[in-house]
Amino acid sequence: MALRSHIVGCGAYLPDRVVANAELAQSLDTSDAWIVERTGIHQRHIAAAGEFTSDLAAAAARAALSHAGLAAGDIDLIVLATATPDRTFPATAARVQAKLGMTRGAAFDVQAVCSGFIYALAVADNFVRVGQARTALVIGAETFSRILDWTDRGTCVLFGDGAGAVVLRATAAEPGGAGILSTHLHSDGRYEDLLYVDGGPSSTQTVGHLRMVGREVFRHAVTNLAAVVGEALAANGLTADAIDWLVPHQANQRIMDSTARKLGLPAERVISTVARHANTSAASVPLALAEGVRDGRIRQGQLLLLEAMGGGFTWGACLARW
């Protein structure tokens, strides 16, 4: 029997502290008007001192398990996407495993920066399809506030902290049935210098800070995302009018608008959280998904197109029926 992954639950967590653009403008040469006009961002959540990526991830995971009506003991795989692990090792996924009280199965991290959740979803989906896992937790969690250069107005205004999670369950693959229809991943390491962190255990023995040539990343994002969403639709013999919801990576409202425009999708069919969350890297897609499900916009049987692009460069898409 052919298997596919049914997304049976989702959850989110955002740290309590909210930092509005105006607060950043007190210490940086920037303005609320510039940030809103260029990005659509009004505010971001920032983790408290002592609150780690694994704490955010565990909170989102608990919410997703509760939504799915499952317990930690039901899970046999955790794949966690993050570029801001608690420690160089062990994997943050293993720390989350312990926090959830789960003692069996496997837990590991995936590192594809802002595309991390799509990568983690693809990895877990493939485990489920071949029968190596039956119930999987896929988490995107980040504390980007810890790797920002808070004196660089070109980057520090863009990011926030948060976590989102989904629970996958093996189900029979039936035509028109719910579940992940396909995932599509790409990377091109030639573009490393346009978006990277200038530290690391092997190179500098420091954590480092995020560096980005924003305008160039923007240009590649618009092109690569249009290509990969087209690829996902073509692989399933679908056209854009079949999509009920575009659930994009939340880097910049203008990038999301561009992808939607190319697909011919009206803004009402795009889940956008960037105004309130800013760019939460690997957490942004599951955060947007959880919001759309929680507020009732995303309903059973609807077709979702998830996409993301980030450092590496990496990019990817996923088509799923809710």
Using the rule CB under 6 A, is 58 a contact of ligand UT7? no
- Distance (Å) of CA 31 to CA 35, 38, 42, 154: 6, 11, 11, 12
CA atoms within 13 A on the CB side of 122: 22
Q: Which of residues 241-280 bind ligand UT7 (CB under 6 A)?
A: 251-252, 255, 279
Q: In the stretch 84-123, what mask flags binding to ligand UT7 with x, by CB under 6 A?
A: ------------------------------x---------
Q: Which stretch binds ligand UT7 (CB under 6 A): 29-37, 58-66, 133-141, 263-271?
A: 29-37
Structure tokens at 156: 């520090």
Structure tokens at 318: 């996923």
Q: Which stretch binds ligand UT7 (CB under 6 A): 61-69, 142-150, 154-162, 235-243?
A: 154-162
Using the rule CB under 6 A, is 310 a contact of ligand UT7? yes
Instruction: Say how far apart CA 37 and CA 5 lie, in whole Å.
Output: 39
Whole-number minimum distance, CB 214 to ligand UT7, in Å? 3
6, 45, 184, 249: the catalytic one is 249
Q: In this complex, which beta carbon is closest to ligand UT7, that of residue 97 or of residue 224?
A: 224
Q: For the chain, how are helix, strand and coil distributed in percent, rounded to 5? A: 40, 30, 30
Whole-number minimum distance, CB 99 to ligand UT7, in Å? 27
Q: Which stretch binds ligand UT7 (CB under 6 A): 3-11, 35-43, 51-59, 240-248?
A: 35-43
Nearest residue to 249 via CA among 117, 85, 53, 155? 117
- How far from the centroid of its chain's Cα atoms is residue 156's Cα? 19
Q: Give catalytic status of residue 114 as yes or no.
A: yes
- Distance (Å) of CA 152 to CA 28, 38, 230: 8, 16, 35
Q: What is the 3-state secondary structure (H, E, C) of 138-161?
A: EEEEEEHHHHCCCCCHHHHCCECE
Q: Which helix (DSSP H) or strand (DSSP E) does residue 10 occupy?
A: strand 3-13
- How far from the centroid of its chain's Cα atoms is residue 136's Cα? 16
Which residue minimizes CB distance to ligand UT7? 214
Q: Which stretch binds ligand UT7 (CB under 6 A): 1-9, 88-96, 139-147, 215-223?
A: 215-223
Q: Which of 154, 177, 201, 301 binds ligand UT7 (CB under 6 A)?
A: 154
Q: Give catalytic status of residue 21 as yes or no.
A: no
Using the rule CB under 6 A, is 214 a contact of ligand UT7? yes
Using the rule CB under 6 A, is 293 a contact of ligand UT7? no
Nearest residue to 153 via CA among 45, 266, 29? 29
Q: Give catalytic status of residue 42 as yes or no.
A: no
Interface residues with ligand UT7 (CB under 6 A) are 30, 34-35, 38-39, 114, 153-154, 157-158, 214-215, 217-218, 221, 251-252, 255, 279, 309-310
